Structure 1
């Protein structure tokens, strides 16, 4: 169920209405990423507060909870409608954030594709060095230490055991 702007203005305080109003068509495009994130956080806070009040009013109407505060206006319908207004505005803000994210991702993909195309085109043209006579340096030393042979742990244990058996045989041999 959609709530008109006039009804939303009558339900919300001035601060809440300004936050909701900035979540819609002309004002939302003026916000940057941080502004959208901050607006989403404010709207989530307002929505949670309205949800808490609506739940409290429903519990009071059922008789399972004591009245809260001095005078909270209206029935459970008013905070429920406020929650709907905030939830809808939050949905719009989240869609806008997703839209901006998708635009950035698409731009990054296009940029990567352009780089890949440039690399591919550059690799198609082979560069041949000049054919001047040059001396062959001959065989070059690899350098570094010789490669270390690594014996696996399972083999180390079996070698140790074989040595122990051989020593045991020698110990039990008559002189």
Structure 2
């Protein structure tokens, strides 16, 4: 669920708020890809710190771990909201990186298409292929097969089945 900017301001520290403000609507379009990668790294680091804090607080609440340090600021709900705000900022940065990559790919594809069209148009006006005549070449030559041909004489066709019939008739004659 998305959070309002007022909720982000109330939950985040001033350092975190400064980072997250760069990810909102008008400001994010002024940031180039290199800065977005650095911003993503900062947000991930902050989110990792908050995640550690949230997990520790949850373990304390269940009685699985003792408290670390004197005390953590705020209650258990605040770190969760802080983590959600940082996650939303990370999503915005990732979406903007994808958008910038798609825009760059679209422009480079357009340039490549224009170059290909120009090359095709130039090819239409260049030297045509020489005219083919009857003495231009021998063409394809037949390659004789190296497989052995199996020729069965007509007198053998069906002789095996006839032999079986004759043998069966002799057996039947003896049995009867």
TM-score, length-scaled by structure 1: 0.70
Q: Which runs of 5+ in 2 are unaligned?
A: 129-176
1:27 aligned partner: 27
2:116 aligned partner: 116
Q: Which runs of 5+ in 1 are unaligned?
A: 129-175
2:48 aligned partner: 48
How much has 1:49 moved relative to structure 2? 1.0
Q: Which segments of structure 1 move beyond 2 Å, counting only runs of 4 or more? A: none
| Pairing 1:106–2:82 present | no
Which structure would you say has the larger Rg? 2
CA distance in 2, matches of 1:9, 1:33: 26
Q: Does the Cα contact within 8 Å between 1:53 and 1:79 map onto a contact in 2?
A: yes
TM-score, length-scaled by structure 2: 0.70
CA distance in 2, matches of 1:126, 1:29: 46
| Pairing 1:91–2:91 present | yes
Higher relative contact order (CA 8 A, sep 6+): 2
Q: Does the Cα contact within 8 Å between 1:19 and 1:43 map onto a contact in 2?
A: yes
Deviations 1:8-39 (A, max 9, x none): 11111111101111100111111111111111
Q: Does the Cα contact within 8 Å between 1:20 and 1:89 map onto a contact in 2?
A: yes
CA distance in 1, matches of 2:64, 2:110: 59
What do you get for the CA RMSD once the two structures are aligned?
A: 1.2
